[in-house]
A and B are shown apart, each in its own frame.
Chain A
Amino acid sequence: MLRRHRSAYLLAAPSLVVLAAVFVGAMLTLLEYSFHEYVPGGADIPGTIATWAEFLTSGYHWGVVTETVRLGLLSTVVAALVGYPTALALHRIRRPGWRYAGLFVIFAPLLTSVVARTYGWELVLGDSGLLNGVLGGFGLGPVELLYQRSSVVIALVHILLPFMVFPILSSLGQLDPALDEAAGDLGAGSLRRFVKVTLPLTAPGLLAGAQLVFALSISSFATPSLLGGGRVNVLATDIYDNVNNVDWPLAAVSSYALLILAVVALAIFGWLQRRTARAEQGGVTAAGAAPRGVRGWGVWLALVYAFVLLPLAIIVVNSFSSVSFGTWPPPGFSTKWYANLFEQDGLGEAALLSLQVALIATVITVAIGTAVATALVRYRMPGRSVIQSLVLSPTVVPKVAFGFAGFIFLHRLGLFGGTAGLVATHVVIMLPFVVIVLTAALMRADATLEAAAKDLGAAPFRAFRLATLPQVRPALIAAALFAFVVSFDEVDMTVFLLAPDQSTLPVWMFVYMQKYQDPTLAALSTLLIGAALIIAGFVALLLLRSGILATKKGNNE
């Protein structure tokens, strides 16, 4: 049996080794702690189920679980309702340049740190913020949105929208236009064609997006913590409180409660994805039709762009504020925060370490993630669902809990304080993003082409490289970008894994934020946005010159 499925297991092996060595090891450490009991006063009793009993019999903790699920579902539904039409509209844009610009706008929130984004939303949604200022102009309001569940959902949808849009867009790109045309020829109207053809065929992308958004929502810590005002008590904030309260056993139990919740959700999404997958029944066998044009969707896109860019614009404006505290509009303007930024110690070293870790981890993750995604989609080996659950499980473990577990575990391995441990833990948290995006893409990729290449004598790797890889190229780029950004912006976990003389850029920002209360971080975020714009422009130029954008258009035609 092993021999028969050797290729599948070999493809999955690198990811499994990394997960077993780092993630499973750290989580077992946490599991061990869940069977301890913390007694205030310093006592730590091992080998007891008292903490589990306390968690399972407490109405408060069940309330926290319910709030976690509610927040996850709300964020996912809203992100799907906003994300699907946005993907559809982007897909209809005729000029590739405009389409890529639109994608960049949707992606833009990921280029700012969670600290800066939260700051932006506070200035938009606050009692005396921009929104209430506008409403006041019409004699309406004020509305209390900030420090409620609503502000947390808005901010989560804002940051998680790209995770919904990209997989759907990927599915739309792989849609066989002949089916839609055939339905039209048979008399189906546009709504009927959408409901009967487009929606079912893009369901894997929608489900992949929903899976990502749900998993990230239920394990998010910073947003509910900073924008919930203490009202939005979810498992991730509960874990953070318990870690800081030195009640590690309870933090461990809460982490496992979240893990169980996520595994159930993953199982449901996995079941739905299997039901909707059509990969085995033929993929894209005809050339794509030309995009139909945006038409009425332009208004929708403009609204979404405004929603996505508003807090970022507020950050940019606030970076020129004359006062240290956040108020809207700023009472005056100054460039002093930029001058202050460049006087800070350790900023350059922190940025360098962040880049180093993010680049190395991205290369490793994309390589091993592509391999395991291929194994999961193309092979039906025994233990496939176990491998899938294992690969995706890091998404649902709060970074705070994994960081804390990793801190102890890296010590045991002797890797604490070095770059290797940081890269290894970052690979673990990035891997699910890469696998989810690539799995959705591979499901819609035409396997018959690769089979044909093999029949014609190509070796398996060559057949994959020449027949399948080009089909999933956009997804591969998106996965690499996600992975890089996830690593580059990571703070909740990394703060536990750095030695006192180390720092990454987001941790530097986090530490700065706790020392000073001024727009220096808004200035840094503005520069990061500017750098991202320059890089995006440069990449776009390269793509244009290499003809990739034109090729895409040509294929569609």
Chain B
Amino acid sequence: MPERSISRRRLLTGAAGAAGLALATAACGGVRPEPSTGSTGAGGKVKVTMFAFLGGDLGKMPKEFAKEYEQAHPNVQVEIYEQSNSVGYTRMLAQQKASPDQPLVNFGFFNAQTSVQGIDDKMWAKLDYSAMSNSADIDPRFQREDGHGIGIGVDQFGLVYNKDKISKAPTSWAALWDHAYQGKVSFFGFPWYAVYMAAKLNGGGLDNMEPGWDLWEREAKQIRLLVESNPQYLNVLSNGTAPMTAYFAGTGQQWINSGAPLTYVVPSEGAIPLPIYMQAVQGSTPQQLEVVHDMINEMISPKWCARWAEVSVEAPANVKAPLPAKLKDLPAFQKSTTDAFQDIDYAIVGRNNAQWQKRWETDIASRI
């Protein structure tokens, strides 16, 4: 297709010229701004919508980046859509079914599970790593051979507990089903990682989760409640209703920073890494994809990767990105922690997630 051969430089300079012309004409009072719909924004700009995570300060870096990018590229208009991966991806999928040529968003942040799900749903456009100068600096563990996304950061699952309510600090994943903590455990929705670790410590693994299911069926009474939102999570952990859980180190640290009496523990068996990928979305116009490629390349640069790590409390995926000073001393960011990460095949997690979730609801959640 001829449009695809438009180079980024030609597109950006050409569109900048058009934008300049439009601006000059508008200054003379001859042009009314168009409504920002579809792929064209106000004043004929290329409009792209970025998906950003909801929660804590996760929207800060995308907004800061968008502002700077718009200033440097006056022909580009960036909208930000903040939503959780689960709700946001459902809407993206519904939009894909209804209007495949008008995706809800053009690119954005997606966790490893959603990224795998998106491959099956043909949601993602392949990224051309050879045209992205910063891609070579991304830790090879967070590059993808199929070009479906590229890593920007990596969060991790470990144990979070209330240090005022629990005198004996948990050290192992097995604490989740230790009867000393019976009725004190909470989870957010379906915690596949808790089932996985129960399986792993009892002779199974991602390809054989049965030992994990058996254990949680027996030990469902360990769980005081399943929460539905982050504020509820923070409340039940902080006020002692259910003072222990397994959750993201990043979110846990943000809660700790806000004054909650919580502590994050890296379990002795290793934390579970959760890579965060930047993905481009199929159905975007060639112009949008050109811009998206350029924006993703900028976002995975050392500068922006480090900023993402700082606001999300994650390890940066770019090996040249400096680790923010305030994260350096945290247990989650020690080399020993990242070296000892559990080896997770997210292709298995992504493909089984729906089935596992159903089983969790029918076999475990119904017994708590």
Does B84 lie at the interface of the complex (its beta carbon under 8 Å from any beta carbon of A)?
Answer: yes
Given known A127-B239, A245-B358, contact A42–B56 (CB-CB < 8 A)? no
Nearest A-chain residue to B361, judged by Cβ: A241
Tell me whether B228 is interfacial, beta carbon within 8 Å.
yes
Residues of chain B whose beta carbon lies under 8 Å from any beta carbon of chain A: 36-37, 49, 54-56, 58-59, 79-84, 86-87, 89-91, 93-95, 97-99, 104-105, 117, 120-122, 223-232, 234-235, 238-241, 255, 258-260, 351-355, 357-358, 361-362, 365-366, 368
Whether A40 touches B225, Cβ cut-off 8 Å, given contacts A412-B98, A514-B84, A517-B231, is no
Q: Which of A122, A233, A324, A412 contacts B361 (CB 8 A)?
A: A233
Closest residue of chain A to B120 (Cβ to Cβ) is A42
What are the residues of chain B within 8 A of A184 when measuring CB–CB? Answer: none
Are the CB atoms of B240 and A325 closer together than 8 Å?
Answer: no
Contact yes or no, A501 B79, CB < 8 A: yes
- Which among B84, B258, B368 is the interface contact of A230 at CB below 8 angstroms? B368
Check B366–A517 contact: CB distance below 8 A: no
Cβ contacts under 8 Å, A233 to chain B: 361, 365-366
Whose C-beta in chain B lies nearest to the C-beta of A127? B241
- Rounded to whole angstroms, the CA-CA distance of A40 and B239 in the bound complex is 38
Contacting B at CB under 8 A, from A268-315, are: none
Smallest CB separation, B191 vs chain A (Å): 11
Least Cβ–Cβ distance between A448 and chain B, in angstroms: 53
Q: How far is the CA of A326 from the CA of B260 in the complex (A)?
A: 10
Contact A500 B98 (CB under 8 A): no
Please report the C-alpha to C-alpha distance between residue A371 and residue B361 in the assembled complex, in whole angstroms: 45
In the complex, what distance in Å separates the CA atom of A496 from the CA atom of B226?
24
In contact, B228 and A323 (Cβ under 8 angstroms): no
- Is A404 within 8 A of B94, CB to CB? yes
Contact at B354–A229, with CB atoms within 8 Å?
no
B234 touches A517 (CB 8 A): yes
Beta-carbon contact of B362 and A325 below 8 Å:
no
Q: Besides the contacts A324-B258, A515-B58, what 6 more A-B pairs have beta carbons closer than 8 Å? A: A40-B352, A42-B117, A128-B241, A233-B361, A241-B361, A496-B91
Provide a sorted-by-A list of 29 A–B residue pairs whose CB atoms are within 8 angstroms: A42-B120, A42-B121, A122-B232, A127-B239, A127-B240, A128-B240, A146-B241, A147-B241, A229-B225, A230-B225, A230-B368, A231-B225, A231-B368, A246-B117, A324-B260, A326-B238, A404-B94, A407-B94, A411-B95, A411-B98, A500-B105, A501-B79, A511-B82, A513-B230, A514-B54, A514-B229, A515-B56, A515-B82, A517-B255
Question: A500: which B residues are within 8 A, CB to CB?
Answer: 49, 79-81, 104-105
Determine the residue in chain B with the shortest Cβ distance to A122: B235
- Provide the bound-state CA to CA distance between A15 and B97, in Å: 30
Q: Which residues of A sit under 8 angstroms from B225, Cβ to Cβ?
A: 147, 229-231
Nearest to A414 among chain B residues (CB) is: B99
**Contact A327/B238 with A41-B351, A244-B87, A501-B36 known, Cβ cut-off 8 Å:** yes
**Nearest neighbor of A411 in chain B, beta-carbon distance:** B98
Docked Cα-Cα span, A23 to B249, in Å, equals 44
CB distance from B94 to the nearest CB of A (A): 5
Give every chain A residue within 8 A of B83 (Cβ-Cβ): 511
Q: Which of B59, B89, B235 has the most CB of A within 10 A?
A: B235
Cα separation A222 to B142 with both chains bound (whole Å): 37
Residue from A126, A231, A245, A511 in contact with B54 in the complex, judged by beta carbons closer than 8 Å: A511
Rank and list the top 4 A-B pairs by shortest CB-CB distance, nearest first: A230-B226, A229-B225, A42-B120, A500-B81
**Contact between A244 and B56, CB atoms less than 8 A apart:** no
Assess A147 versus B260: contact at CB under 8 Å? Given A127-B239, A517-B234: no
Name the residue on B nearest A412 (C-beta): B98
Q: What residues of A have a CB within 8 angstroms of the CB of B58 in the complex? A: 515
Question: In the assembled complex, which residues on chain B have CB atoms less than 8 Å from the CB atom of A63?
Answer: 366
CB distance from B223 to the nearest CB of A (A): 7
Q: Is the CB of B229 within 8 A of A495?
A: no
CA A231 – CA B59 in complex, angstroms? 32
In the complex, chain B residues whose CB is within 8 Å of the CB of A40:
351-355
- How long is the Cα–Cα vector from A127 to B82 in the complex, in angstroms? 34
Q: Which residues of the other chain, B, contact A225 by a CB distance below 8 angstroms?
A: 228
State which residues 472-520 of A face B: CB under 8 Å.
Answer: 495-496, 500-501, 511, 513-518
> Residues of A contacting B228 with CB < 8 Å?
225-226
CA distance A327 to B238 in the complex (A): 8
Cβ contacts under 8 Å, A163 to chain B: none
Q: Chain A's nearest CB lies how many Å from the CB of B320?
A: 30
Complex contacts, B232 vs chain A, CB 8 Å: 122, 226
User: Nearest A residue to B58 by beta-carbon distance?
Assistant: A515
Question: A residues within 8 A CB of B260?
Answer: 324-325
- Please determine whether A516 and B56 come into contact, CB atoms closer than 8 angstroms: yes
Interface-central residue, B49, B84, B105, B224, by most chain A CB under 10 Å: B224
The residues of B that contact A323 with a CB separation of less than 8 Å are 259
Give Cα A3 to B177, complex, Å: 72
Given A241-B357, A408-B98, A501-B36; A147-B352 close (CB under 8 Å): no
Q: Tell me whether A347 is interfacial, beta carbon within 8 Å.
A: no
**Which of B37, B80, B122, B229: most chain A CB closer than 10 A?**
B229
**Residues of chain B with a CB closer than 8 A to A246's CB:** 89-90, 93, 117, 354
Determine whether the beta carbon of A325 is less than 8 Å from that of B259.
yes
| Inter-chain contact A407/B91, CB cutoff 8 Å | yes
Complex CA distance for A246 and B189, rounded to whole angstroms: 15
Q: Which residue of B lies closest to A495 (CB)?
A: B87
- Report if A320 contacts B (CB, 8 A): no
Residue in B58, B117, B260, B366 whose Cβ sees the most chain A Cβ within 10 Å: B366
User: Which residue of A is nearest B88, CB measured?
Assistant: A500
CA distance A46 to B117 in the complex (A): 20
With a cutoff of 8 Å between Cβ atoms, the chain B residues found around residue A244 in the complex are 86-87, 90
Q: A326-B235, A511-B54 are in contact. Are A518 and B229 (CB under 8 A)?
A: no
Cross-interface CB contact of B258 among A231, A243, A325, cutoff 8 Å = A325
Please provide the chain A residues from 96 to 136 with a CB less than 8 Å away from any CB of chain B in the complex: 119, 122, 126-128
**B residues in contact with A247, CB < 8 Å:** 354, 358
| Least Cβ–Cβ distance between B113 and chain A, in angstroms | 11
A58→B89 CA distance, assembly (Å): 28
What is the CA–CA distance of A513 and B83 in the complex, to the nearest angstrom? 11
Q: Which residues of the partner chain B approach A127 to less than 8 Å between Cβ atoms?
A: 239-241
Contacts of A243 in B (CB 8 A): 90
Complex contact A325–B358 (CB within 8 A): no
Complex: how many Å from CA A522 to CA B81? Answer: 25
Q: In the complex, which residues of chain A have a beta carbon less than 8 angstroms from the beta carbon of B240?
A: 127-128
Task: List, in ascending order, chain B residues with CB within 8 A of A514's CB.
Answer: 54-55, 84, 229-231
CA distance A518 to B260 in the complex (A): 11
Distance, CA A245 to CA B360, complexed state (A): 12
Chain A neighbourhood of B362, CB < 8 A: 58, 60
Q: Evaluate contact between A517 and B94: CB separation under 8 angstroms.
A: no
Residues of B within 8 A of A417 (CB): 37
With a 10 A CB-CB cut-off, give which of A127, A147, A327 has the most chain B CB atoms. Answer: A147
CB distance from B50 to the nearest CB of A (A): 9
A225 CA to B188 CA in the complex, in Å?
12
The smallest beta-carbon distance between A414 and chain B, in angstroms, is 10
Given A246-B117, A500-B104; A327-B93 close (CB under 8 Å): no
Provide the residues of chain A in CB contact with B55, threshold 8 Å: 514-515
- From A119, A122, A128, A147, give the contact of B224 (CB < 8 A): A147
Report the separation of the CA atoms of residues A196 and B352 in the bound assembly, to the nearest whole angstrom: 62
A318-338 contacts to B (CB < 8 Å): 323-327
The answer for the CA separation of A388 and B295 in the assembled complex, in Å, is 54
* Cβ proximity bits A408-447 to B, threshold 8 Å, 1 near / 0 not: 1001100001000000000000000000000000000000
Looking across the interface, which residue of chain B has its beta carbon closest to that of A407? Answer: B94
Give the docked Cα–Cα distance between A326 and B241 (Å). 12
Q: Given A245-B358, A501-B79, verify A230-B239 contact (CB < 8 Å).
A: no
A229 touches B226 (CB 8 A): yes
